[in-house]
Amino acid sequence: MEKITASGRTVEEAIESALQQLGASRDKVNINIVEQPGKRLFGLMGKKDAVVQVELISDPFESEKDQVPLKKAPANNQLAEAKSFLNDVFDSMGLTVQIEKLSSKEQVLFNLIGRDLGVLIGRRGQTLDALQYLTNIVANKHTKDERVRIVLDAENYRAKRKVTLERLAVKLADGVIRTGKEVVLEPMTPLERKIIHTQLQDHPKIQTFSIDEEPNRKVVISLKRN
């Protein structure tokens, strides 16, 4: 995971400098503010620059590298293995689940249809994320080059959660502008943090960054500093 430290007269200027060096957009990185800009100690001349640490968000499915050359597996076989794995999981849990496959150029969506699927979603979607990770491991275990990316959804949870987080981001940003006080959100998954960052990345008065380490990493919403 690539990480760099950058500085600037303001936090925003430091972040922009880091993004340019990484060649990445804000939604592709985690941002930690190391030091806020301010006056130097003991009345020294000038002001301290803001310092930020910016880290590219890695994709576990892209970063996996097999040490032993493996035989290519057709995408249909990969999806069949993924479905077989999921059906075994559902059977072991006593669940009757239909898997609806929806494909795009970037990924394959397995939409899970059934009753009482809350157990598959889990708190803040953590169980669904874990099951999605394992499904991708199974689907790609016999291939090196032509990997498939599978996204799991249940009861349209991901779309609903995305809308909820986008509305929350706007509401909290309005509160930050009104009170002048930054807001620290509860710990979120990388995907959920990305939704918050993306929703507010073009806001003229608001900046977002992440603090702490996984699995307790949180998004901070604060006013941009001039």
pLDDT in tens, 10-24: 877 878 887 777 777
Going by pLDDT thresholds of 50, 70 and 90, the confidence category of residue 46 is low
Q: What is the rounded distance in angstroms from the CA atom of residue 138 to the CA atom of residue 140? A: 6
In the chain, what are the domains?
A: 3-59+175-223 (3.30.1370.50), 62-155 (3.30.300.20)
At residue 181, φ and ψ (nearest 5 deg) are -105, 135
pTM: 0.58
- 96-126 CB burial, b ≥16 within 10 A, e <16: ebebeeeeeeeebebbbeeeebeebbeeebe
Give the pLDDT confidence score for residue 124 in this predicted structure.
79
Mean pLDDT of the chain: 82
pLDDT in tens, 117-129: 889 998 878 899 8
Q: What is the rounded distance in angstroms from the CA atom of residue 58 to the CA atom of residue 29? A: 9
Q: What is the rounded distance in angstroms from the CA atom of residue 96 to the CA atom of residue 105? A: 29
Going by pLDDT thresholds of 50, 70 and 90, the confidence category of residue 102 is confident
Amino acid at 106: E
Mean pLDDT of 177-182: 95
The answer to whether residue 169 scores a pLDDT higher than 90 is yes
Q: What is the rounded distance in angstroms from the CA atom of residue 115 to the CA atom of residue 182? A: 40
The set of residues, in sequence order, having a beta carbon less than 8 Å from that of 186 and lying 6+ positions away, is 218
Is residue 93 within 8 Å of residue 112, measured between CB atoms? no
Q: What is the rounded distance in angstroms from the CA atom of residue 222 to the CA atom of residue 57? A: 21
Mean pLDDT of 106-111: 87
Three-state secondary-structure class, residue 186? coil
Is residue 140 within 8 Å of residue 62, measured between CB atoms? no
The answer to whether residue 84 scores a pLDDT higher than 80 is yes
Q: How many CB atoms lie within 10 A of CB 78?
A: 23
Give the pLDDT confidence score for residue 73 in this predicted structure.
43
